[in-house]
Structure 1
Amino acid sequence: MVTLKGLIKLTLAAATVFTLAQAAMADTLADIKARGRILVAIDLGAPPYGMLDGNAQPSGSDVEAAQALAKDLGVELEIVPVTGPNRVPFLLTSKADIVMASFSITDERKKVIDYSTPYGVVPTVVGGPAGEAIADFAALSGKTVAVTRGTTSDAALTKGADAAGGLEIVRYEDDATTNTAISTGQQDYIAAAASVIKQVNIANPSRNVEIKFVMTTAPYAIGLRQGETELKSWLDQWVSANIASGNLNTIYEKHFGIPLPAEYQAKK
């Protein structure tokens, strides 16, 4: 026999299932079009992906890509500022429709969200003085390279150094200290994310540090909630079209100073 208390529990459980089913059937793409505005989560504290320019206006590679996406969708862009840690929570709580914030693809994130086709990469590079002919790890023999301890750049540099031999690695405990060592001339070479090279030159233009070669790349994509079939299909098609047109490569090269890898460029 089902008691009144048990009946209430069953009713609440059924209501919860119904609510979840409704949520699963939600069509965010249709909602965006009806609203006339797309909410895009972007980290404005992560140059050159997202930042504020001299007029306190959003700029950066992800900002420009989001602007192009909104235009092609025929809606207004509303930027939802996020930080690295809250990108997924903002998406799952519907504070944003999608995430475009140097959102690298990881197996852990794929357990709770979906990704579009990748539209860019986070490169780790070796930078050094302009004019120096450094094309690979072997060319660094006899030189000292600064890196932040425990980062993906550290792992890539260590692997390259072990293979080539003859270079010395100086590890610093945080990015700020590593970058300062380069901008002040304590070190001439650095292994870091490509975006760091531009920041070093901003801190001290006389150093004239340039990217020598790319060590590794990690793809990033547009994040969206799971089950959004129509939205994912549209985003995938948008990425493919903007790779084919060269638009995404133009945006990327403008902000990073290097082109996207060949697989993310228009086929010739």
Structure 2
Amino acid sequence: MAATAARRRTVGETIRVVLVDDQEMVRDGLGALLSSAPDIELVGEAGDGLHAVELAARLRPDVVVMDIRMPGMDGLTATGRIIRDEPDGTTPGILILTTFDLDEYVYEALALGASGFLLKDAPARDLIDAVRVVARGEALLAPSVTRRLIADFARRRRSGSLRPEAAAALTQRELDVLQEVSRGLSNAEIAERLVLSEQTVKTHVGRILAKLGLRDRTQAVVFAYENGLTPPPGGDG
């Protein structure tokens, strides 16, 4: 699992986005939508993965909105290249555009370090919210379909035995927070559930990521499922 760090942005700074999709009409529509947001700047567009990798290296955006199924280099390969090739160890957040049936692609994108997923049939304005979430260094985990995909991904990758020692560096409270994160809860929801302040939850999440060498909440969720810290939905753990 990639352990690179997301780029840090200053509060109020414009979010620089590269949009990747092989359909020009889709790019035009999504590009117009992104450009309508006052805090988002569309700095580049690509119609295939190779061009996306080149733009990411040259423009160093905050977020790459990445389609998966494209001719030539697909979005999966491009995601791996973008994350691997960053010279200073920081990467843009990668928001995957997907449909419900992109099983193996989605699982591999998670392993490579993608920060979130947006279904192509989601309401158009959701794209702006998703870009903002990923730009903050957070993971887009709210949709229940994403949680199911992550759980299924972890089931497929798990060796078959639980490894509780993998989280030995965590305190009990940090473990509690990690389990709630893995269920897709926001900091505010976790704070209410565990009777903590939202700032305390945020601090715990930061410490969890640092101790486990993880990039963001998405990787924390995958870690929890892979290591048996959270039973997959509908499974027996």
TM-score, scaled relative to structure 1: 0.30
Query: Would you tell me which structure has more strand in proportion to its own residues?
Result: 1
Bigger fraction of residues in helix: 2
Q: Which has the larger radius of gyration?
A: 1
TM-score of the pair, normalised by structure 2: 0.33
